[in-house]
Amino acid sequence: MTTLYEEAKRCFLIADPDEKLDATLSVVADWDAGNLSLEGDDEPIAFAVPGRLDRPILVAPQQVSKRGFGSVAKRASLIHSLAHIELTAVNLAWDTIYRFRGMPRDYYADWVKCAGEESKHFFALRDQLRAMGFDYGDFTAHDELWGSAVETGHDLMDRMGIVHRVFEARALDVVPQTRAKFLELGDSKTASILTMIANEEIGHVSAGTRWFRYRCEQEGLEPDATFFQLLQQYLGNFPKGPFNRDARLQCGFSENELARLESEDAAFRQKRHTQ
């Protein structure tokens, strides 16, 4: 029987987005049908980059094509940036499966489901781009999300804490606001896509929280203190608000975590205001 690890590696290394995501949805179906094994004993390779085409051109975050709501091109650039995040999230899911072995079956089930849902998100955003006269690859993109995956690739707890509870959790805060702006502009199609993304991201961040705490428990670490230690270790600061409190609570953030994040954000804003 083919292993899930083999299929995760194969999907991760496919360069063409259409081929990658068609393969992803096929693997999701095979997993759901019970056709994939977790018996692989190969040594996983720590891949530095996923399979990708030459476009979009990757640049520093501050050099990405201008995004916003003031023109069709700026709105398309914004949708393109979201599509790039979703494609990166598919690669993240497969890397998280392939790289980390010996976890409970539910762990792999969570990330297979994530890969399938992120694929649907990408296809929907790309179709919307095409309806606007653009396509994926027409704008520049940055690789900050994948960079965080590389940084945390040596430790599952760090990967869950930083990639999913910081970078992916940011979507909980910003996507609803972005959706509201598209509704104001009368773009109900993009708004409906963002509604789907916002709803399903709750499950993805919840999975990150679940397996972050699983590893904390295995190592005898207090989760909240460990999360803030990881923030300092990897980011040197705290995420900026405002935070979607209700969504983050649904994803397993504790009241203690949220109170401290909000307190640190308020202190940052006060300091910036008085400078």
Token representation of residue 234: 């990897």
List, for residues 106-133, the tens digit of each pLDDT value: 999 999 999 999 999 999 999 999 999 9
Q: In the chain, what are the domain boundaries? A: 1-151, 157-275
Q: How many CB atoms lie within 10 A of CB 182?
A: 21
Cβ–Cβ under 8 Å, residues 69 and 75: yes
Q: Where residue 180 falls among pLDDT bands split at 50, 70, 90?
A: very high
Average pLDDT over residues 133-143: 95
Q: What is the pTM of this model?
A: 0.94
Phi-psi region of 101 (alpha: psi -120 to 50; beta: other; left: phi over 0): beta
Q: How many CB atoms lie within 10 A of CB 120?
A: 17
Q: Degrees (nearest 5) of the Cα angle 173, 177, 180?
A: 150
pLDDT higher than threshold 70 for residue 219: yes
List, for residues 142-168, the tens digit of each pLDDT value: 999 999 999 999 999 999 999 999 999
Q: What is the pLDDT of residue 275?
A: 61
What integer best gives the mean pLDDT of the chain?
A: 94
Average pLDDT over residues 29-38: 96
Portion of the chain with pLDDT greater than 90, in percent: 87
List, for residues 41-73, the tens digit of each pLDDT value: 789 999 999 999 999 999 988 888 888 898 999
Token representation of residue 8: 């995760």
- d(CA 160, CA 143) in angstroms, rounded, equals 18
Nearest partner of 245 among 255, 235, 260, judged by Cα: 255
- d(CA 242, CA 54) in angstroms, rounded, equals 35
Q: For 101, phi and psi rounded to 5 degrees?
A: -105, 170
Token representation of residue 163: 């990639």
Q: Where residue 96 falls among pLDDT bands split at 50, 70, 90?
A: very high
Q: For 203, phi and psi rounded to 5 degrees?
A: -65, -35
